[in-house]
Structure 1
């Protein structure tokens, strides 16, 4: 049972990292290259769509890591799992305090009602997203390493 939990946790966090990597290095670049208002509309749609899914994914990943750390508390890699869980907590805190407020504004914007500084706000979200991506990538690396212990 523990092995299943270990693999499931690693896969769930790994796929989350892949999605966030794709947002940072693929989707945002595609959206930013679209003509006129299309990119901003795409960002707003992505914010609405992923804004519904990601809270469950982030919290679910944290719960899985916590369950792994608890169930495998006597295993050699437990410290790595606890570190990963700490990083996942940091990613949730970052999301709630830094990224979600910008996303909540962005997802309601249209070309008619967006603020004058909308590009600056999206750039700020992007910088925070890069940092959060580094945090969850590190968590994934700790989990993958713990899986081999």
Structure 2
């Protein structure tokens, strides 16, 4: 059972890293190259779509990592799993305090109602997101090392 939990946790966090990496380094640069209205509309749509899915994914990944740490408490590598879980907690806290407030505003914007500083707010979101991606990559790497 522990082996299955380890693999499921690692795959879940790895896929989450892939999605968030793609948002940071593929999708948002593509959106930024679009004309202003299209850029803002794409980000709003992405905010609505991923804003609905990612909270579940972040929390379930954290629960899986925590469960792995508890079930495998006496196993070698548990310290790595606990550290990874701590980084996932940090990513959730960052999301709630820094990214979600901006996302909640941005997902309601249209070309008619967006604020004058919408691009600055998106750049701030991007900066926070880069840090969050680094945090979850570190968590993923620790889980992979603990797995092997």
Same fold (TM over 0.5): yes
> Where does residue 8 of structure 1 map in the other structure?
8
CA shift, 1:35, in A, is 1.8
Q: Taking structure 1 as the reference length, what is the TM-score of the superposition?
A: 0.99
**CA deviation profile, 1:92-136 (whole Å, cap 9, x unmatched):** 000000000000000000000000000000000000000000000
| Structure 2 residue matching 1:37: 3-state secondary structure | helix
> Where does residue 82 of structure 2 map in the other structure?
82
Alignment of 1:52-63 (within 5 A): 52-63=52-63
Q: Taking structure 2 as the reference length, what is the TM-score of the superposition?
A: 0.99
> Where does residue 23 of structure 2 map in the other structure?
23
Runs of at least 5 residues in structure 2 that lack an aligned partner in the other structure: none
Runs of at least 5 residues in structure 1 that lack an aligned partner in the other structure: none
- How well do the aligned residues superpose, as a CA RMSD in angstroms? 0.4
> Where does residue 106 of structure 2 map in the other structure?
106
| Structure 1 residue matching 2:54: 3-state secondary structure | helix
Query: Could you tell me how far apart the structure 1 residues matched to 2:36 and 2:116 are?
Result: 15
Query: Could you tell me how far apart the structure 2 residues matched to 1:53 and 1:35 are?
Result: 27
CA shift, 1:36, in A, is 3.4
Equivalent pairs, count: 148
Alignment of 1:133-148 (within 5 A): 133-148=133-148
Query: Could you tell me how far apart the structure 2 residues matched to 1:74 and 1:59 are?
Result: 24
